Amino acid sequence: MFEKILIANRGEIACRVAHTCKRLGVRTVAVYSDADTHARHVALCDEAYLLGPAPARDSYLKADLLLQIARQSGAQAIHPGYGFLSENAEFAEACQTAGVVFIGPPPKAIRAMGSKSAAKAIMEQAGVPLVPGYHGKDQTLDTLARSAAEIGYPVLIKASAGGGGKGMRVVESAGQLAEGVAAAQREALASFGDDQVLIEKYLFRPRHIEIQVFADKQGQAVYLFERDCSVQRRHQKILEEAPAPGMSPERRREMGEAAVAAARAIGYEGAGTVEFIAHQDGSFYFMEMNTRLQVEHPVTEMITGQDLVEWQLLVAAGEPLPRAQEQLAIQGHAFEARIYAEDPDRDFLPSIGRLEHLRTPAENLHVRIDTGVRQNDEVSPHYDPMIAKLIVWDQDRGGALRRLGQALADYQIVGVATNIRLLSALVAHPAFAAGEVNTGFIEIHRSSLFPDKQPVSDHILALATLGRLLYVEREAASRAHESGDPWSPWRSTSAWRLNDDNMQTLYFRDGERDVSVTAHYHGDHVRLDLPGGSLPVSGELKGEGDLVADLDGVRVRATLVRQGEDMVILSQGASHLLTLHNPLTEGMEDEVDAGSLAAPMPGTVTRILVQEGDTVATGDPLLILEAMKMEHTITAPRAGMIECIHYTVGDQVQEGVELLVLGGTP
């Protein structure tokens, strides 16, 4: 086994590899770009080297620099992870030349699978079933048209050098072929610098089933069963599982043996995945082979109890495979959900930003989280927007599915938009529970997976209002505490202090809708006037923003995250954004001097929540004014220091007068 390896990657996969190395006592060398100086993978490894600026071509793709760092640090091998240089035959070769072990297959195996057409020719020779199609060198339209007619429409045109769904075109009839071929060729040339295409029969709503294979230098090869990755959004996998629903032991053996034959045909070594496309009738065809560790490898680890990164290290170090085929068995069922920073409301565009709040479900025997980020990390525009892989395991599919639903509900992310809502909807879908998966799943169930946005419920409004009132109370109390005034009413630690017989209205913006909630204080509880009626509530705010609320006798929990005037309420797996605003001050801002805070209406000062010299953050409550039997909280429009308070409790003020002066931060 190696003493020390270099991990030529970042994010979750770099952390994943480091994790196994740590367990095996192998020392690790991390590399990072300027954007990743404080990244989790850098912190996890024993030493770390800066590669260069953020763009991958200036950092993670710099083959020469990586080899230089390997030499300098004394790393004996390089683990490429996935993506970046993992399927780059020249890099694998350069490692060989430099005397550093490339933890992956031999360069010639990578090359053999690099072209879809060439790979198909090899697989045909090896007796692996292929989708009916044409993958020859003759690219004339005549030949392509004749082949398409023989296969039968609809057909799929693919770029031979393709990947990531680029250069793929469905052609419904002979009349559209010329146009489809031209478009696929243009896209292929632009993306891969090679316009060779192939034609396949277009299968209707097939399944994507792939086989994990492993081979060692001694000539042994095994399969570690299948993964079903049919649930895709735009040909990109988002939910994977193992074993595949409905797979019979005979079909499993047949597919496994075909995959091993494919690996043997190209002299494979290490971890590889043979991807098949499977027809609803159970027939299956070779699609391509990925010559690296796959993103979704953890589901295989969960059902086999094997650590595939450990296997990779052993094989690369020249050891035989740790298990023979008959020593491998499937236990239970596993799912992986890919949590992405992308915005479902903006057509799933990557969502860039800081992870202001990040809380994950507890990890245990059933729940595993592979991630490269922590709270306060940035999701940068330079790399893949995947935040984490959530992996669950249980004895059977139903149990694992239940755990996945619960773990998704417990995954709290504020700061960037995520696809968690879609994942939760998928997992809760009856057709998914029934195992009716295919590559068209999201299209078929679109209307139920993407329901129209509903206004925030009274339940959430009640939690938001209660949480806000408790926050105001807590902050005022802590300020009074700091001030040392023994007579301040905020020094009392009884649970509910806003106990006068008065009321306060909070104005929320919920998307396009404006909604207000009035709170009436009644000693130990508050009665809220909500759009749907009145509700007695009470509660307690704990720690960072954990709310334990009693809503008319029902005890519920929620988490509140504040960002200025924005409040995110995380409850039962859903997150709701509400923005606090004050309709009375809106439109007046222009008239008011930026540093001062003016009374929005004539009234009485009932509370002053700050003292001169206090520093405040945007949205902090400063003073409460009562008018028309309603309370209005004056909040800080920006961060700063309270320079002067012009009034005391009980004073009458006229509309527009300056109540206090907010200076800059000292």
Catalytic center residues:
292
Taking the least distance from each CB to ligand ADP, the nearer of 348 and 496 is 348
- What 3-state class would DSSP assign to 110? helix
20 binding ligand ADP? (CB under 6 A): no
Query: If phi over 0 gives left and psi between -120 and 50 gives alpha, with beta otherwise, what is residue 127?
Result: left
Taking the least distance from each CB to ligand ADP, the nearer of 72 and 280 is 280
DSSP β-bridge partners for residue 645: 660
- Tokens 């508050």 locate to 526
CA distance 477 to 466: 16
131 binding ligand ADP? (CB under 6 A): yes
- Spatial CB neighbours of 647, under 8 Å, sequence gap ≥ 6: 605, 608, 653, 659
Total residues interacting with ligand ADP, rule: CB under 6 A: 19
206 binding ligand ADP? (CB under 6 A): yes
Question: Using CA atoms in the order 159, 160, 161, 162, what is the torsion angle rounded to 10 degrees?
Answer: 40
**Minimum CB–partner distance for residue 152 and ligand ADP (Å):** 12
* Residues 200, 131 contacting (CB under 8 angstroms): yes
* Residues 465, 528 contacting (CB under 8 angstroms): yes
CA distance 118 to 121: 5
**Minimum CB–partner distance for residue 521 and ligand ADP (Å):** 58
Q: Which of 110, 27, 96 is nearest to 63 (CA)?
A: 96
Taking the least distance from each CB to ligand ADP, the nearer of 135 and 208 is 208
Show the site string, 271-290: x = touches ligand ADP by CB under 6 A, - = not: ----x-x---------xx--
Q: Which of 87, 195, 200, 631 binds ligand ADP (CB under 6 A)?
A: 200
- Which of the ranges 197-205, 390-398, 495-503, 555-563 carries the binding residues for ligand ADP, by CB under 6 A? 197-205
Taking the least distance from each CB to ligand ADP, the nearer of 206 and 619 is 206
Strands 353-354 and 503-510: unpaired
Q: For residue 421, what is the enclosing H or E element? A: helix 420-428
CA distance 437 to 231: 7
Taking the least distance from each CB to ligand ADP, the nearer of 191 and 611 is 191
Q: For residue 101, what is the enclosing H or E element? A: strand 101-102
**Minimum CB–partner distance for residue 524 and ligand ADP (Å):** 59
Q: What is the 3-state secondary structure (H, E, C) of 404-442?
A: HHHHHHCCEEECCCCCHHHHHHHHHCHHHHCCCCCCCHH
**Minimum CB–partner distance for residue 297 and ligand ADP (Å):** 17
- Which of the ranges 199-207, 295-303, 623-631, 643-651 carries the binding residues for ligand ADP, by CB under 6 A? 199-207
* Residues 632, 502 contacting (CB under 8 angstroms): no
**Minimum CB–partner distance for residue 79 and ligand ADP (Å):** 23
- Which of the ranges 198-206, 216-224, 379-387, 555-563 carries the binding residues for ligand ADP, by CB under 6 A? 198-206
Taking the least distance from each CB to ligand ADP, the nearer of 98 and 168 is 168
Secondary structure E strands in 135-196: 155-159, 169-171
Taking the least distance from each CB to ligand ADP, the nearer of 59 and 232 is 232
In the range 60-99, which residues lie near ligand ADP by CB under 6 A? none
232 binding ligand ADP? (CB under 6 A): yes
- Which of the ranges 33-41, 135-143, 155-163, 455-463 carries the binding residues for ligand ADP, by CB under 6 A? 155-163
- Which of the ranges 162-170, 240-248, 329-337, 354-362 carries the binding residues for ligand ADP, by CB under 6 A? 162-170
Taking the least distance from each CB to ligand ADP, the nearer of 184 and 373 is 184
Q: What angle do CA 364, 369, 374 make, to 5 degrees?
A: 120
CA distance 533 to 545: 26
Q: What is the DSSP string of 134-184?
A: E--S---HHHHHHHHHHH-SSEEEEETT--TTTT-EEE-SGGGHHHHHHHH
344 binding ligand ADP? (CB under 6 A): no
Q: Which of 137, 235, 253, 542 binds ligand ADP (CB under 6 A)?
A: 235
243 cis-preceded (ω within 30 degrees of 0): yes
Q: Which of 74, 127, 152, 165 binds ligand ADP (CB under 6 A)?
A: 165
156 binding ligand ADP? (CB under 6 A): yes
**Minimum CB–partner distance for residue 166 and ligand ADP (Å):** 6
162 binding ligand ADP? (CB under 6 A): yes
* Residues 260, 223 contacting (CB under 8 angstroms): yes
Q: Which of 15, 203, 390, 636 binds ligand ADP (CB under 6 A)?
A: 203
26 binding ligand ADP? (CB under 6 A): no
**Minimum CB–partner distance for residue 156 and ligand ADP (Å):** 5
User: How crowded is residue 172: how many other Cβ atoms within 10 Å of its Cβ?
Assistant: 12
- Which of the ranges 196-204, 464-472, 482-490, 523-531 carries the binding residues for ligand ADP, by CB under 6 A? 196-204
Q: What angle do CA 261, 266, 272 make, to 5 degrees?
A: 75
The H helix count followed by the E strand count for the chain is 17, 39
Taking the least distance from each CB to ligand ADP, the nearer of 268 and 441 is 441
Q: Which of 164, 318, 398, 663 binds ligand ADP (CB under 6 A)?
A: 164
**Minimum CB–partner distance for residue 415 and ligand ADP (Å):** 30
Alpha carbon of residue 586 to chain centroid: 37
- Which of the ranges 159-167, 293-301, 502-510, 623-631 carries the binding residues for ligand ADP, by CB under 6 A? 159-167
- Spatial CB neighbours of 227, under 8 Å, sequence gap ≥ 6: 209, 210, 212, 240, 241, 242, 244, 294, 296, 299, 300
Q: Which of 40, 135, 208, 357 binds ligand ADP (CB under 6 A)?
A: 208
**Minimum CB–partner distance for residue 498 and ligand ADP (Å):** 57
Crossing angle between the packed helical segments 308-316 and 11-24, to the nearest 10 degrees: 70
**Minimum CB–partner distance for residue 519 and ligand ADP (Å):** 52
- Which of the ranges 36-44, 163-171, 255-263, 516-524 carries the binding residues for ligand ADP, by CB under 6 A? 163-171
439 binding ligand ADP? (CB under 6 A): yes
- CA 51 vs CA 57, 62, 279, 399: distances in Å: 10, 8, 45, 44
154 cis-preceded (ω within 30 degrees of 0): yes
- CA 453 vs CA 275, 409, 415, 447, 567: distances in Å: 37, 18, 20, 12, 18
Taking the least distance from each CB to ligand ADP, the nearer of 431 and 601 is 431
**Minimum CB–partner distance for residue 87 and ligand ADP (Å):** 11
Taking the least distance from each CB to ligand ADP, the nearer of 17 and 278 is 278
* Residues 61, 84 contacting (CB under 8 angstroms): yes
Q: What is the contact surface with ligand ADP in residues (CB under 6 A)?
A: 131, 156, 162-165, 200-203, 206, 208, 232, 235, 275, 277, 287-288, 439
